[in-house]
Amino acid sequence: MPPIDYHVQEISKASIQALLSTISLPAPEYINTLSTQGQYHQVWFLNYPATTLQKILTSVSPPSIHPHVTTKLLLRISGTHFPHRKTENESAILAYVAANAPGVPVPTIVRYDSSRNNAIGYEYQIMTVCPGVEVDSIFRGWDDATKVGFLDQIIRLLGELHSVPVAHIGGFAFAANSHNVVPGSTCEEFALQMPHVDQYWNAYGLNQTPQSLNAQGPFETWTQLNTEWLKKYIFAIKTHPLMNEFSEMIPKLKKLVSILENGGPQEWKLNNMRIVLAHRDLHFGNIMYDTERKVISGIIDWEFSGTAPFCKWDPPKAFLASLPYDEEGLARKRAWVEDFKIRCQETGTDWRTLIFDSENGWSTKEQRLVYEAVDYMRCIFEVAPTGERLNRVRDWRDIVLQRLEELNIS
């Protein structure tokens, strides 16, 4: 049986024109695509006269007028890596951010479909194009004043995002037959997606999906989120043949589940953790910059964003990172983060309110231990079914057992 290709197959301009005609958008002057495509998407540009584009934007709900908008719309066609949820989440969260954090510049969704029941046969989004260029392509030539101005804007944008009141952990969605944004299930970049599920689970005849293997939600508390993930890990150990060797962990993991289901001992303060609205992948490639106005002109790629416990606001540790992601790139990122902290201090802002302090940001020792136990279990969950890095996986198991022992779970 040939391997499944989850990427978008060839799309013709005629099929795009057919799609536009079915969703009440005028034919563009011309259509062009990028020479290179992303990991999850195929990208096309729909080019319109400025007056036509403004008419399109006034027709969306709610109406949108962008004084600095380009004359293009971006058509982003999704592969089948993470069916439905990724497209729905980003479309909803962009509407939510625009309504609740208006100082954060984001694209406007003009049309979207999180199903494949359309003229192109794939999920898609049509959105405005943020003006400017990716910071990743220009920051190396900045003088000190430009760099400081950029950091000041990042401080302001993070502050605005994190000040938005949120009451759930998860993603966003639209209410049925409505433009109203409501809490949705989680949508994380490190969730198990269809390529991984098919290759490492369904190849064993286990008949799983991203929905069955990933925590869903939305959740009210951090302990509820951790409880759901632990139940997924226990299921995996029981189900997957390459995880059976970790069966001796199940009784201890069940004890932790029991503790968390009751919110944990009061003195552990497990839910004493801010929930924040987070982009979760804020590297320089996702920040657009207008070089003429010297302003951040867009934050893009929100598909894996949502509301998160503050300790998980940046799971890939992407904040202020730049390509390439090698040792030199890691050192460069660390230097930028240090400069960010210094600039926070200079402007009277406590950086610990904007980025999580992984050393001293925990309410209690037990809160950190629970976080680490669940986090290393996630590493096992992701890697053990591949049959690779077995020594590393067993090291992670030992760390989990050590954290459980420190929690007096035996």
Which residues does 312 contact at the CB level (< 8 Å), separation at least 6?
278, 280
pLDDT tens over the chain, length 410 residues: 456 889 999 899 999 999 999 999 999 999 999 766 677 889 999 999 989 998 998 888 766 655 556 789 999 999 999 999 999 999 999 999 999 999 999 999 999 999 999 999 999 999 999 999 999 999 999 999 999 999 999 999 999 999 999 999 999 999 998 889 999 999 998 999 999 999 999 999 999 999 999 999 999 999 999 999 999 999 999 999 999 999 999 999 999 999 999 889 999 999 999 999 999 999 999 999 999 999 999 999 999 999 999 999 999 999 999 999 999 999 999 999 999 999 999 999 999 999 999 999 999 999 999 999 999 999 999 999 999 999 999 999 999 999 999 999 99
Name which of 125, 97, 127, 95 is nearest 112 in CA terms: 125
CA dihedral 26, 28, 29, 30 (to 10 degrees): -160
pLDDT at 24: 95
What's the CA gap between 194 and 212, in Å, rounded?
11
Which residues does 170 contact at the CB level (< 8 Å), separation at least 6?
183, 184, 185, 186, 187, 217, 218, 219, 306, 307
Name which of 230, 219, 271 is nearest 254 in CA terms: 230
What's the CA gap between 23 and 38, in Å, rounded?
25
pLDDT at 1: 46
CA distances from 70 to 54, 286, 367 (A): 10, 18, 47
33-60 in b/e form (b: 16+ CB < 10 A) is eeeeeeebbbebbbebeeebbbebbeeb
294 token code pair = 């010297």
What's the CA gap between 256 and 65, in Å, rounded?
51
For the chain, what are the domain ranges? 13-130
Q: Give helix 250-261 / helix 222-239 axis angle, nearest 10°.
A: 160
DSSP 127-146: EEPPSSEEGGGTGGG--HHH
Kindly state the helix (H) or strand (E) to which residue 192 belongs, with its residue range: none
CATH number corresponding to 13-130 = 3.30.200.20
201 token code pair = 């689970």
Provide the whole-model pTM: 0.95
